[in-house]
A = this chain, B = another copy of it.
Amino acid sequence: MAPTSETLTAERILAATEEVLRRHGPAKATVVDVARALGVSHGSVYRHFRTKAALREAVTKRWLDRTTGVLAAIVAAPGLDPETRVREWLAALFAAKRRKAFDDPELFATYSVLTTETAETVVGEHIADLTGQLTEIVRTGAEAGAFTVEDPATTAGALFRATDRFHDPHYAREWELPGVEGEFEALVDLLIRGLRARD
């Protein structure tokens, strides 16, 4: 279709894959479609990705990693007190997921399917990344004497699981309901009170 003369890179294939997925959905998007969108034969796609599953994993990872960067900035941001850092990180995670779901519903629905396919690998690593960031926040908060926690990783895991409803795509349709903001605030308040240092 668009027979570009640029060299065929993994990134160009992934961008085309995402576009095909957005147009056709996860069930009907084929490797042949991706190749056609790039103006190459599907054999060329297989030079860069061993299988269709590997291509789907890569495009899913690419999508998930877009979120991770924003959040990392909050982990590293200087001058935030520990409670604010936790609150802002959780709020940013919720906001990022919700923005994705709202701005491009078709693509979000598509990736919601893809993430169930790759739950064990790509999604597992994504969750490990996120809980790792949260562990760092909890650990520094504990070191600063603001939080009382036995083990930062365990507590970070509990925080992440407690807020599942506000970042797991499974609950996406509830993110637009009136009152979610308040529900989110009430939950985060409760969790932060649980983190606070005790004498």
A contact residues vs B (CB 8 Å cutoff): 154-155, 157-159, 161-165, 170-171, 182-183, 186-187, 189-196, 198
Contact = CB atoms under 8 A, between A and B. Distances in A.
A99 to B, nearest CB: 21
Contact of A183 (B157, B165, B170, B198): B157
A124 to B, nearest CB: 12
A71 to B, nearest CB: 20
A154 B186 contact: yes
A161 B157 contact: no
A187 B161 contact: yes
A126 to B, nearest CB: 16
Contacts of A186: 154-155, 157-158
Given A162-B162, A164-B164, A170-B170, A194 B190 contact: yes
Given A193-B193, A194-B193, A194-B194, A158 B170 contact: no
A177 to B, nearest CB: 12
